[in-house]
Amino acid sequence: MKSIVPILSVLLTIIAVWYAAAVWMNAPWVYDQAARAEQTVPRPWQVAQATMNQDRPVLPTPHQVISELLRSTFGLPVSSKKSLVYHAWVTISGTLLGFVMGTTLGVLLAVGIVYSRSMEMSVLPWAIASQMVPIIALAPMLAVVMHAVGATPLMTKAVISAYLSFFPVVVGMVKGLRSPEVMQLDLLQTYAAPGGAVFWKLRLPSSMPYFFASVKVGIAASLVGAIVAELNQQAGLGARLLQGSYYGQTTQIWAALFLSAILAAVLVMLAGRIERRVLARMGMAR
Amino acid sequence: MKDTLNPSPVIQARDLQLVFSTNDGPVQALKDVNLTINKGEFVSFIGPSGCGKTTFLRAIAALETPTGGSLTVNGMTPDEARRKRAYGYVFQAAGLYPWRTIAGNVRLPLEIMGFSKAEQNERVSRVLELVELSGFGKKFPWQLSGGMQQRASIARALAFDADILLMDEPFGALDEIVRDRLNEEVLKLWARTGKTIGFVTHSIPEAVYLSTKIVVMSPRPGRITDIIDSPLPRERPLDIRDSKEFIEVSHRVREGLRAGHSDV
């Protein structure tokens, strides 16, 4: 329980800084309004009060963001186009589909790279190069291509998610599949073990800790990919972010951002929980 | 061999050469090695590091390929023998898979070799009993001491009933008290199973206590400097190490090691 003090102090500091910044950034509008109405210059405490609940603040205050988050999550029917639950579901479905595709591709590529020298030399440079391209630049072009071949928005999103999430899985799994020691490989050779046995009984189990480390990075990357893909779509947290910025709805943007962060945290935590369970069953957690 | 009237050779090396090519040029790991190991013998290889004792054991196991001469195991090439699963190999470290229980580790070779489930279970409990680890089958390796882990790895090597047991400094990392106990157990095991054992060590008392034949080796190039047929009986209580014969054999091994060093 000792850790509660530092956790709370950091949280309180962030909130304090946020409120201070909101006052500072939203104040010009208050002065502006007063000048237009040809009123006397408001006193500082009046200005501060007037920055707390503006309709279109430059920086919405924490309580505005939280209440918008709660309102659009719980206050609206799930089927409403304004419900964050609806948008979050659209994003999550794309994220998970893309994550499964990316992880599968990543594992398959890693197996190929570990077992074939020529595949290592021909595929790995492309995998690395693929991550050099900024996804924000690539996503619209991919969307056009996917649309041309008749893919649904979900599929487009999943492809972009997969594009971001396969890479950490490739890197982690290559390392993991190569992690058995020489002695462990020699042991199987003394049994004249066929290649399949070496893979299933040694390489794959050895790679599990590496796999889960990659999965945690990959699932967060998938979420980023889905949100970026939605900047070109009608629904999802990404679309919601973009609509918010079109109409100057800063509170809506921040609420969507918060929900994205919460989603990412939940997904990574879920992956961590599965990791602990699997490794415990394998006797690798102590 | 004193107790076998008709010794049958299990491992035969004739003018065996093994040269490693390294970045610093070729290294002669084994030179002109001639040795016959008969069925049921307990042969120790002793020598300083770099003398090729481990390399020779690995060549028998077809984990290294000789560059000259001939080497046969059960009358076959080492590689054929390996495919026929002629030997069990115990490495310097136990090397148990951390994600398998002790029983699961012992079962590993049996799964690979396609034994039936019932036979796997029967064999696992039999060899675990042989190394006195009954009751530890469900534990994971990290829950066991180093000595127990190494016993489990011996059980794993015994599980598929190969006639030959090759052990590469299996107790090198263990303290002397544990080592003494395991040495006694290995002798009991050898008496009960009648296997042919090749045992690499750099401990003179260990070699003399265990072996019917001691092969003294020396480095640069790796070669055999002396082969000693032990006069000790097969039945060996721990205090045999205070007997005159034991001290004499130990002395001869030490002389052999010293001779190997002085003529480099």
Choose from A179, A189, A190, A200 for mutation: most chain B CBs within 10 A: A190
CB–CB of B140 and A197 under 8 A? no
Give the chain A residue nearest B60 (alpha carbons).
A190
Compute the residue count for chain B.
264
Cα–Cα distance for residue pair A131/A124, rounded to 1 Å: 11
Q: How far is A199 from chain B (nearest CA, A)?
A: 12
User: Which pLDDT score, from 0 to 100, does residue B144 have?
Assistant: 93
- For chain B, what percent of residues have pLDDT higher than 70? 96
Sequence-ordered alpha helix ranges (H) in A231-249: 237-246
Interval B103-135: pLDDT, tens:
999 999 999 999 999 999 999 999 998 888 999
Identify which of A181, A186, A191 has the shortest CB distance to residue B113. A191
Cα–Cα distance for residue pair A101/B228, rounded to 1 Å: 65
Q: Cα dist. B256→A40, A184, A237, B146, B203 in Å?
A: 108, 34, 80, 32, 14
CB–CB of B89 and A202 under 8 A? no
In which band, very low, low, confident or very high, does the pLDDT at B259 lie, cut at 50, 70 and 90?
A: confident
State the Cα angle at A88 between A82 and A94, rounded to 5°.
Answer: 130
Interval A250-281: pLDDT, tens:
999 999 999 999 999 999 999 999 999 998 88
Q: Pick from B67, B73, B143: which is nearest to B105 by CA?
A: B143
- Whether residue A61 has pLDDT greater than 50: yes
> What is the interface pTM, i.e. ipTM, of the complex?
0.88
- Of residues B106 and B259, the one with the higher pLDDT is B106
Interval B24-35: pLDDT, tens:
888 889 999 999
B82 in contact with A, Cβ within 8 Å: yes
State the Cα angle at B68 between B65 and B70, rounded to 5°.
Answer: 85
- Whether residue B3 has pLDDT greater than 70: no
Instruction: Read off the tokens for A91.
Output: 């994003």
Cα–Cα distance for residue pair A246/A226, rounded to 1 Å: 20
Q: Cα dist. B222→B28, B62, B253, B262 in Å?
A: 7, 18, 16, 14
- Whether residue A170 has pLDDT greater than 90: yes
- Whether residue A3 has pLDDT greater than 90: no
Q: What is the CATH number of domain B1-86+168-264?
A: 3.40.50.300
Q: Which strands, in side-by-side order, build the sheet including B87-90?
A: B87-90, B164-168, B196-201, B42-46, B213-218, B223-229
Q: Cα dist. A108→A102, A121, A197, A200, B4 in Å?
A: 10, 16, 17, 14, 57
Mean pLDDT of chain B: 89
A285 in contact with B, Cβ within 8 Å: no
B83 in contact with A, Cβ within 8 Å: yes
Q: How far is B243 from chain A (nearest CA, A)?
A: 38
- Whether residue B2 has pLDDT greater than 50: no
Collect all residues of chain A within an 8 Å Cβ-Cβ radius of residue B95: 181, 183-184, 187
CB–CB of B88 and A205 under 8 A? no
User: Which pLDDT score, from 0 to 100, does residue B262 have?
Assistant: 58
Cα–Cα distance for residue pair A241/A253, rounded to 1 Å: 5
CA A162 from centre of chain: 12
- Whether residue A286 has pLDDT greater than 80: no
Collect all residues of chain B within an 8 Å Cβ-Cβ radius of residue A284: 98-99
A189 in contact with B, Cβ within 8 Å: yes
CB–CB of B88 and A190 under 8 A? yes
User: Which pLDDT score, from 0 to 100, does residue A285 have?
Assistant: 62
A21-35, B54-68, B190-204, B248-262: the lowest-pLDDT one: B248-262
Cα–Cα distance for residue pair A128/B54, rounded to 1 Å: 42
Cα–Cα distance for residue pair B44/B209, rounded to 1 Å: 10
CB A82 within 8 A of CB A252: no
User: For A200, which DSSP code?
Assistant: I
Interval B45-101: pLDDT, tens:
999 888 899 999 999 999 999 999 999 999 999 999 999 999 999 999 998 999 999
Identify which of A183, A201, A205 has the shortest CB distance to residue B93. A183
B63 in contact with A, Cβ within 8 Å: yes
User: Which pLDDT score, from 0 to 100, does residue A26 have?
Assistant: 92
- Whether residue A132 has pLDDT greater than 60: yes
Identify which of B82, B88, B95 has the shortest CB distance to residue A183. B95
- Of residues B104 and A284, the one with the higher pLDDT is B104
- Listed by start position, the domains of chain B span 1-86+168-264, 93-161
Strand ranges (DSSP E) for chain B? 9-22, 25-38, 42-46, 68-73, 87-90, 164-168, 196-201, 213-218, 223-229
Interval B17-61: pLDDT, tens:
999 988 888 888 999 999 999 999 999 999 988 889 999 999 999
Buried b / exposed e across B20-59, counting CB within 10 Å, b at 16+?
eeeeeeeebbbbebebbbbbbbbbbbbbeebbbbbbbbbb
In which band, very low, low, confident or very high, does the pLDDT at B261 lie, cut at 50, 70 and 90?
A: low
Chain A, residues 197-236, CB within 8 A of chain B, namely: 197, 201-202, 205, 208
A180 in contact with B, Cβ within 8 Å: no
Compute the residue count for chain A.
286
B142 in contact with A, Cβ within 8 Å: yes
A280 in contact with B, Cβ within 8 Å: no
- Whether residue B160 has pLDDT greater than 50: yes
